[in-house]
A and B are shown apart, each in its own frame.
Chain A
């Protein structure tokens, strides 16, 4: 600290910034005496460069809590409690009878699926994701609020994706084709990793590695077969199934839910909110149409809306009101 006393007038930005860091560290984290306050006041009033540097480092530090990397390694006790509180309630609401048993069992972790030709059902509650391992070595990771059934027989392997999203890592076996059925659409795996998301009006398939064939027959008039390669993304609706390309980075970002994180890259605030709503009981409502169109980006914990709402409030300057069931965003 002696280097940063009031007697020294540093001119070089680097030195001033170093002094600002040293003062901030002392003032924020350690016992602070009146002598120090006097010295600090003197330093601060010595030049506007000092003042700007100090306010700047303070602002950067205060903003540092928005960094996902900090949160990723650190789940505050508060968030853990919240999770415990709302998940059982949700299960009651969403899963009746045997589904409740299933949902509870999912919590155990990785399942080993035994070779039985009959259908088995797997489900995840809102906000969780689980991996199942099939007896052929293939793995399926179920994202939030997903239901699928599996039938692994000697001659064929079939999965029915009833709703939600799942990431498939399939061990190729030419004698036993691996088929994913989602409504009227069928995906045949040709040795690969891919992610499938089923929504009421559309099916989205993205191929991370290898090749997949999609036989889409959602629309009454259309029936077509599309071959998908690595990086291909297709969104099949009732009347179209346009093909797009995604970079490896985009693909990795898209699959960040497997680590409990959502990555938004230049999407509308309303879409980001809808995405987060898939993972949380408390729903975000964007009440203002102009605000809804705001383009945002960033990395957010899927189960902790606060990181998102803080950004909305502090960076976008929008109003955020939490009424318990809903978080309403407006101007």
Chain B
């Protein structure tokens, strides 16, 4: 799982930094990001306050990056969920009001066997479904911008010319669509509830 792909089509951007950091970015984009919907389900299951989820995910990602800077973990999924569990235990211990069973529940969790989404396909499918749902709610002009930008790979200026709209409008639509993409994993997808 530590193999370095020849291509970066899965989202890694080697132009972001030095070669080691670049490898971590590639690994993170390929192995960790696709697990996000499973991670969010796990957090929602074990953490009461939904408003904390986005921050928890970010804290977990920072821990993952810190660890990966030393050595890229072999088993991404196991590592991700172990990190998530440990972070929750730390947080629960710091707050006084939580009953002790929650902690022991978490400690008893078998990260290898009990974690959600045993195969990557189911997780990837859930991710796609969430994206799909979210995309359906975008206004059609915004969607068209996404299509031209993603499927045809046009630049902002080219999209503006093609659609006959101003670059500022294109930029606005892109920001909106990207913000939706960034948030979609944290929103509740009603049909995917209870899959843990």
Q: Of the listed stretches B10-18, B80-88, B92-100, B107-115, name the one at the interface; the rest are far from the partner chain.
A: B10-18
What range describes how many residues of A lie at the interface? 35 or more
Nearest CB in chain A: distance from B158 CB, A: 9
Interface set, chain A 45-102, CB cutoff 8 A to B: 45, 47-49, 51-71, 73-74, 76
With A30-B157, A49-B58 already in contact, the answer to whether A316 and B121 are too (CB < 8 A) is yes
User: A51 is contacted by which of B16, B36, B124 (Cβ under 8 Å)?
Assistant: B16
Residues of A within 8 A of B128 (CB): 66-68, 298-299
Residues of A within 8 A of B188 (CB): none
How many Å lie between the Cα of A17 and that of B179 in the bound state?
Answer: 8
Nearest CB in chain A: distance from B69 CB, A: 8
Q: Of the listed stretches A19-27, A106-114, A186-194, name the one at the interface; the rest are far from the partner chain.
A: A19-27
Q: Would you call B151 and A48 a contact (CB within 8 A)?
A: no
Is A14 interfacial (CB-CB < 8 Å)?
Answer: yes
Nearest CB in chain B: distance from A67 CB, A: 5
Is A44 interfacial (CB-CB < 8 Å)?
Answer: yes
Q: Would you call B182 and A17 a contact (CB within 8 A)?
A: yes
How many Å lie between the Cα of A17 and that of B53 in the bound state?
Answer: 13
Closest to B158 in A: A29
Grouping DSSP codes into helix (H, G, I), strand (E, B) and loop, the B interface class, with mixed when no group exceeds half, is helix
Residues of B within 8 A of A65 (CB): 150-151
How many Å lie between the Cα of A44 and that of B29 in the bound state?
Answer: 16
Most buried by B among A12, A18, A65, A69: A69
Nearest CB in chain A: distance from B194 CB, A: 16
Nearest CB in chain A: distance from B44 CB, A: 15
Nearest CB in chain A: distance from B11 CB, A: 3
Q: Would you call A64 and B150 a contact (CB within 8 A)?
A: yes
Closest to A317 in B: B120
User: B171 is contacted by which of A13, A25, A45, A57 (Cβ under 8 Å)?
Assistant: A25
- Measuring CB to CB, which residues of chain A are less than 8 angstroms from any residue of chain B? 12-14, 16-18, 20-22, 24-25, 29-31, 44-45, 47-49, 51-71, 73-74, 76, 294-299, 311, 314-316
- Measuring CB to CB, which residues of chain B are less than 8 angstroms from any residue of chain A? 9-13, 16-17, 21, 25, 28-30, 33-34, 36, 54-55, 57-58, 61-62, 64-66, 119-122, 124-125, 127-128, 131-132, 135-136, 143-144, 146-147, 149-152, 155-157, 159, 167, 170-171, 174-175, 178-179, 181-183
Additional A-B contact list (5), CB under 8 Å, known A21-B175, A68-B132: A17-B182, A29-B156, A69-B136, A73-B144, A295-B122
